[in-house]
Chains A and B, each alone.
Chain A
Amino acid sequence: MRNPESAIEMMVLVSGIGYSNLGDMSFGRVLLSTLAEMDWPAHVHVEDLNYGPIMIYQTLEASPIKYDKVVLVGAAKRERKPGTLEIYRWHGKLPEDSEIQARIEEAITGVIDLDNLLIVCKHFGVLPDDVTIVEVEPQTEAWGLEFSSVVAAKVDEAIQAVRDQAFCNN
């Protein structure tokens, strides 16, 4: 169901993924709070998706709204220089079945993780083709409320990137 007030607009889902209080790894979770307080047009929905990928897939599956685009922000360790900010369209390729099974098992036991969310939701067919990731390389993942300086320096840029992507129709 598309929003009647924005019938020609794509429905966009925006969220930040990560645990609370886990230093740089909480990047998505912390930015989500900021994003949620911003003004957005009716066709962009900012939602908290930090309650487990299985529950998210089930919620999206049951939802009458079918999103055309998803923009997710978070931190992921991918051996880049700490503080590196990457904005990319997710390839949408699923790993082997055994790996999907492992991600489902993690998800049902409460693991909140960007890759898990993508794999589980893609496997169950609730993600659109257009999924954009705004992702920072963390420097630390120690317990704490603060970001490292290199990650903190990317906050504004990441928020702007999420907004740009949410408003971008391709």
Chain B
Amino acid sequence: MCFKNLPIEFDAQGNAQLIGGVANPYAYTPREIKRDKLEELLARNGHIKDVSISPVTRVAGALSFHAVADLQERKFLEANSVATIFRGYEVILKGRDPRDAIYISSRACGVCGGVHSTAACEAIEMAFGISPPPLGTVLRNIALSLDFLYDHPLHLFLLAGPDYSQVVVEATNPAMWEKAQVTDAPNAEVHQFKTIGDIMKGLNPLSGKLYLDGLKMTRTPREAYSVLFGKYPHPQTVVPGGMSSTVTITDFNETYTRLQKMIDWTKRMILLWDDLTEFFYDYNPEYKKVGARDKNMIDLGMWDDPDSYDATYARCNDWGEARWATPGVVIDGKLVTTKLQQINLGLEEFVEHSYYENWSQNGVRFKTDPSGAPLSPNHPWNKETMPRPSKESWKDRYTWSTAPRWDRQVVEAGAYARIWTTAAAGLMPKNRFLESTGHSLKINMPKTMLPEMDFEWKIPDVWNAFERNRARAYCMGYNLMVAYSMVLKAFDYLRKGEDKVSTKFETPQDERIGVGFWGAGRGYLSHHLTLDKGVITNYQIVTPSTFNASPHDPFGNPGPYEEAVLNTPIIEDYSKPEEFTGVDMLRAIRSFDPCMPCTTHIYGGEREIVREVNTCACSAEG
């Protein structure tokens, strides 16, 4: 029984049904957000401050953040995450040929468009009743590993990394910088940074070796991606039923060579983030509370097993559990399901604090999923995107992000959720380089210049900003060895003469339903679609940042960014409010890898942090 809030039970055969005798099983009464007391404190106490992180958006979606900080007690009293732009991909896609979704939805992200293309393809494949040949699946797996080998270094060294650099640490915690300079890095022999201070220097923006190497290293996976898929980040070669790339053994050889180039660098990066994390914990255990929140997370898994994936909803639990990243939901640190159908049934989106109309007046389109299991009126297959721009109000509506919840609980998404569910499930397909133990993921990385090395990401005791970043570093190794394994599989298929990468199809004209269960660099990604007469009648995208940047839900729970900031102690040094930089809060937010880079500065007198944001808009609706 994976649900404790939704009115769903399972019979002995595992079939889901509504619990009997409940009149309105999905009904709820929204809780009001009360802030009268807070407003009074803000008016009365000089040390209680509004901190607004405001976006200036040039191109796409944007995140801004509002918090109320008690600078005397060194804690946050209120937090609001704000997606400031409506993108409306769902609206754009209505009435179009379903194949358009592959190319249009890709534009939702300027970093990892291919994940949207693939999620769209999987949704279309389910609706069309087709699936790729094995090499087509393997190609997709390689693509979506390479994508993350670009994505994760960007976050670790260019976006989050500078928060732990010399320039930031020295300015916000000078004593820690002093200590870092004389603290030996335990893994210096491998990563070649003698002290923690050296690592921090390496993270300095523009000049640090780690910053520059991180930037440089993004070229290698992008080259391999382009060799196999034509171009990055919006491939034109992901098609329903497989891929349209013409690939030869030479292409795979070129990919293999580039993966080899990344192996030693990845070994170093994992150990480097281990050293940095442990140093912060040792220096001040309060850092374990930065970005802390309940161990609740969600992931749909990805990297299909080419022999299992058939794109059917009826078998989604089987092919889902055969993936190289296992789908799952973790609640209070425990894995409660690995079944894609259950994950899908538990998903609801709420808009009480978002700039959308509730769609319930339009009736419930699907009372059950294709297997006959009960489906909430708030599920994406029943949702309609109805924008309702209105004035920003922390008590009422304040964001363009919806509030997705699973079993009405706040869950976060991320690369770390992917490695967590995979480590906990113990279902990783048998292979040479990766092993899920039920409490860890073992990663074997072959010899190149450095010797063969074994790494083990263990499910952590605490969950916070540092563990998100550390897990992301281990995900580099995880992704790399998935890509490596898939290239070896591709060689096997080619040796056997199985070089077909796509399946023919025709667009059906009757009513169809489908869902793409996939993952972005930042975790969970679903595309739900319905078709009729050969065109899209509804399309709904839920991205990882829709979960993470979500506002309060109608049950009174803050979204993950909000909760993480509320749990973050203010550790930075300041003797007067004007010196407050908000670095601990920013570390908390950035650890989720929001889909936006940002620059921050603070106008001392106004307490306003102005942050220029340019984003791929994964946090915005669709």
Contact = CB atoms under 8 A, between A and B. Distances in A.
Chains A and B belong together in one complex: yes
A39 interface: no
Given A54-B218, A100-B206, A101-B206, A109 B596 contact: yes
Contact of A108 (B109, B162, B597, B598): B597
Interface string A45-89: 000000110110010001000000000000000000000000000
B599 A109 contact: no
Contacts of B446: none
B109 A101 contact: no
Nearest to B222: A55
A51 B58 CA distance: 17
A97 B222 contact: no
Interface in B73-87: none
A106 interface: yes
B219 interface: yes
Given A97-B206, A101-B205, A58 B219 contact: yes
A104 interface: yes
B215 A54 contact: yes
Given A100-B206, A105-B158, A110 B218 contact: no
Contacts of B231: 51
A113 interface: yes
A18 to B, nearest CB: 11
B205 A97 contact: yes
A111 interface: yes
Contacts of A104: 158, 206, 215
B174 interface: no
A98 B599 contact: yes
Contacts of B158: 104-105, 108
Nearest to A25: B59
A127 to B, nearest CB: 17
A110 B110 contact: yes
A110 B596 CA distance: 10
B215 A109 contact: no
B259 interface: no
Interface in B461-516: none
A101 B599 contact: yes
A105 B159 contact: yes
Nearest to B153: A108
Contacts of A109: 110-111, 154, 595-597, 614-616
Nearest to A58: B219
A106 B597 contact: yes
A108 B206 contact: no
A51 B599 CA distance: 22
Contacts, number: 64
A60 to B, nearest CB: 12
Interface string B181-207: 000000000000000000000000110
A105 B597 contact: yes
Interface residues of A, number: 21
B370 to A, nearest CB: 35
Contacts of A102: 597, 599, 612
B291 interface: no
Given A104-B158, A105-B599, A110 B205 contact: no
A100 B601 CA distance: 15
Contacts of A98: 599, 601
A105 B59 CA distance: 13
**Category for how many chain B residues contact A:** 20 to 34
Interface string B9-36: 0000000000000000000000000000
A93 to B, nearest CB: 16
Contacts of B215: 54, 104, 108
B240 interface: no
Nearest to A22: B59
Contacts of B595: 109
Contacts of A51: 231-232
Interface string B209-251: 0000001101100100000000111000000000000000000
Contacts of B159: 105
Interface string B140-172: 000000000000001000110010000000000
Given A51-B231, A111-B59, A105 B218 contact: no
A21 B561 CA distance: 34
Interface in A99-131: 100-102, 104-106, 108-111, 113, 123
B449 to A, nearest CB: 22
Nearest to B614: A106
A108 B58 contact: no
Contacts of A113: 58-59
Nearest to B167: A97
Nearest to B215: A54
B612 A108 contact: no
A55 B111 CA distance: 12
A51 to B, nearest CB: 7
Contact of B614 (A19, A55, A58, A111): A111
A27 B568 CA distance: 47
Contacts of B232: 51, 55
Contact of B233 (A97, A105, A110, A123): A110
Contacts of B110: 52, 109-111
B598 A105 contact: yes
A25 to B, nearest CB: 10
A114 to B, nearest CB: 12
Interface in B405-432: none
A62 B223 CA distance: 12
A131 B591 CA distance: 39
Interface string A24-56: 000000000000000000000000000110110
A105 B162 CA distance: 12
A118 to B, nearest CB: 15
Contacts of B601: 98
A105 B155 CA distance: 10
B235 to A, nearest CB: 13
A78 to B, nearest CB: 14
Interface in B566-622: 595-599, 601, 612, 614-616
Contacts of A19: 59
A54 B596 CA distance: 16
A102 B159 CA distance: 10
Nearest to B113: A110
A97 B154 CA distance: 18
Q: Which of B216, B231, B597, B612 has the most CB of A within 10 A?
A: B597
Nearest to A100: B206
A153 B38 CA distance: 57
7 contacts: A54-B215, A97-B206, A101-B599, A109-B110, A109-B154, A109-B595, A113-B59
Given A52-B110, A113-B58, 17 more contacts: A101-B206, A102-B612, A104-B206, A104-B215, A105-B597, A105-B614, A106-B58, A106-B597, A108-B154, A108-B218, A109-B111, A109-B614, A109-B616, A110-B109, A110-B111, A111-B614, A123-B206
What are the nearest 4 A-B pairs in CB distance?
A110-B110, A105-B597, A102-B599, A106-B614
